[in-house]
Amino acid sequence: MAKNKLNKNWLHDHINDPYVKLAQKEGYRARAAYKLKEIDEEERLIKPGQVIVDLGCTPGSWCQYVRNKLAGAEGGGIHGTIIGLDILPMDPIADVHYIQGDFREDEPVRQLEAVLDGRKADLVLSDMAPNLSGVAIADAARVEYLIDLAIDFAQLHMKPGGSLLVKCFNGTGYNELVHKFRAEFKTVMSKKPKASRDKSSEIFLLGKILKNPRS
C-alpha cells in the first residue's frame, strides 16, 4: 500500500509540475532541459561554434536545448557540433551526432573520434545517474564512479580551457566529489537549479579550466 501511495503522489506531482507542462509546451523530451537552461544562462556555457559532448544523453532534452542554442546557421543547421553518447537508444535529433554504446569501449570511442576529427570538446555535459538503492554508501560509490568516468572523458577529449558539468547528489560522499573536482579544475562551483525538485538532493558540479588534460 505504501508503495502505491508513493507512486500516486509522484504521478500527481509530475502531472502538476510546471516544468513538465513547460517541456510539453516547448517540445522538450524531459523537464531536465530547464536545469541546463538555468545553469547555462547563469554561466554562459554554450556559445556558437563550440564542440559539445553530452554523456548519458537519452532521452535527449539536453541535446535539444544545446541544439536550440546553436541554431541559426544558413540552411537551417547549427553553428557548432553536438555529440550525444548513451548506452540506451535515443530518437534522432536534427544536427546531433548520436553514438549508442559505452564510451569506455573501443567502437564508440572510434565513432567519437571520427566526428571530432582531431578537435577537442569545449564543453562536456553529464546528466548520468545510477539506479539508486537507498543504501547511502553504495549509492555514493555508484555516483562517484560515474563522475570519475566523466572526468576521465574530459581529460581525454576536452580542451584545457573547457568546462565539465555533472550531476551528483548532496549527501554521503558529496564533499569528496567537490575535493576531486577542485583537484582537476581551476574553478569549481555547485548549482541547484530551480527545476531540480525541492525534495531531491540532486545538485550539479561545474568545473572550468582543466588542470591535467591528457592528449
**Torsion 141-200-28-68 (CA) sign:** negative
Does the annotation list 62 as a binding residue? yes
Closest CA to 67 of 87, 84, 82, 85: 82
Asked if 8 is an active-site residue, the reply is no
Exposure pattern of 118-146 as b/e (b: 16+ CB <10 Å)?
eebbbbbbbbbbeeeeeeeeebbebbbeb
Does the annotation list 102 as a binding residue? yes
Closest CA to 90 of 124, 138, 114, 57: 57
Report whether the peptide linkage leading into residue 59 is cis, meaning its omega lies within 30 degrees of zero: yes
Nearest-10 crossing angle of helices 136-157, 174-184: 10
Distance CA 103, CA 105 (A): 5
C-alpha cell of residue 76? 537551417
Angle at 197 between CA 177 and CA 166, to 5 degrees: 30
Catalytic choice (37, 167, 191, 211): 167
Distance CA 154, CA 212 (A): 10
Does the annotation list 60 as a binding residue? yes
> Which residues have a catalytic role annotated?
167
Extract the annotated binding site for S-adenosyl-L-methionine. 60, 62, 86, 102, 127
